[in-house]
Amino acid sequence: MKSLAILSHKGGVGKTSVAVNLAYQLASTGSNVCLLDNDFHGPSILTFFKPKPETNWINEYLLGSSSLNSCLQEVGSDLNLQGKLFVAFADPTPESVANIIQLDSDTSMKMLHFLMQLKKTLKEDPYNIDYLIVDSSPGVGMTTLNLMVVCKATLFMVKLNNADINGAMHMIEGLHRQLKNRTLILANQIPERFFIDDEKKKHFQELIEALLEEKLGERVVEFLGWIPNDLELFTSEFETALKTLEGLPANRVIYVRDKPDHVVTSIINDIAPKLFEDDE
């Protein structure tokens, strides 16, 4: 089973959207996938898939109060995917968020134990998972470090502003002092007009790679590329939020399902094999 944690220095950089689209893409081509919401500060995978009333929160399993099976919801069959797609939802209630904020080291170690057990169980019947994809909380915390212990590869999502890109570099550098995961970087919300100028793209990639070398030395960090800023997506997100406020059913756009010809779908299809090529 191949495993990927999706991290960021700040919130709102597109972690969850990339995690959902990547999981959907892999399951649509016949792989068995588990998508785990480990963003306990702001769970949002449930804005893409609706949890069933009988599905328990993954927090409960990681704290030892529920079985893993009761926390996994298989959505692939309802979506007519070739492979299985299991989703584990995090508890969005204020009480749960407060508990995670106050997490102590003993509880964190307990959660790591159950996280490692989760990975072992997913490899076996009846799950037979090929890919584990985990959406993490922004920033560095105990739950983030737990993920880096369990997942072999780490994808950092960044936005191109000084606060985020510098913060992300410091975060990567700090984490690499502790753990040597294979690390990749994907820049999101790049102005669309940037994509038509190959010279600017080349120059920008050289700048990013130079910064990585300066900050991280000989450590291998791969820059995957860019996702364009999409006005259509922002409009769709607003319309979805409006429906939610009106009490109407509303799920967010999954590009690889809803917009197969969109550039974001093309990017997801392109990066999927690169994310896992060294994960054995």
pLDDT category of residue 3 using cuts at 50, 70 and 90? very high
pLDDT at position 161 is 63
Do 64 and 82 form a contact (C-beta atoms < 8 A)? Answer: no
Separation between Cα atoms, residue 74 and residue 63, nearest integer Å: 22
Q: What is the DSSP string of 63-87?
A: TTSS-HHHHEEE-TTTTT-SS-EEE
16-54: pLDDT as tens digits? 999 999 999 999 999 999 999 999 999 999 999 999 999
Residues with Cβ < 8 Å from 89, sequence gap 6 or more? 37, 43, 45, 46, 49, 51, 55, 57, 58, 71, 73
Phi-psi region of 58 (alpha: psi -120 to 50; beta: other; left: phi over 0): alpha
Decide: helix, strand or coil at residue 143.
Answer: helix
118-140: pLDDT as tens digits? 999 999 999 999 999 999 998 88
CA-based angle 205:209:212, to the nearest 5? 140
- Joined tokens for residue 193: 């007009």
If 0-12 CB within 10 Å is exposed, 13-18 middle and 19+ buried, where does residue 41 land? Answer: middle
Mean pLDDT score of the chain:
87
195-229: pLDDT as tens digits? 677 787 778 778 777 877 776 665 567 888 888 87
CA-based angle 273:225:264, to the nearest 5? 75
Distances (CA, A) of 100 to 93, 111, 148, 215: 11, 11, 18, 31
pLDDT at position 187 is 86
Separation between Cα atoms, residue 55 and residue 214, nearest integer Å: 46
Task: Give the fold, CATH level 3, of 2-276.
Answer: Rossmann fold (3.40.50)
pLDDT category of residue 61 using cuts at 50, 70 and 90? very high
pLDDT at position 100 is 84
Separation between Cα atoms, residue 277 and residue 280, nearest integer Å: 8
CA count, 13 A, side-chain hemisphere, 84: 16
Q: What percent of the chain has pLDDT over 70?
A: 93
169-190: pLDDT as tens digits? 778 777 766 667 788 889 888 7
Residues with Cβ < 8 Å from 127, sequence gap 6 or more? 32, 34, 72, 84, 86, 121
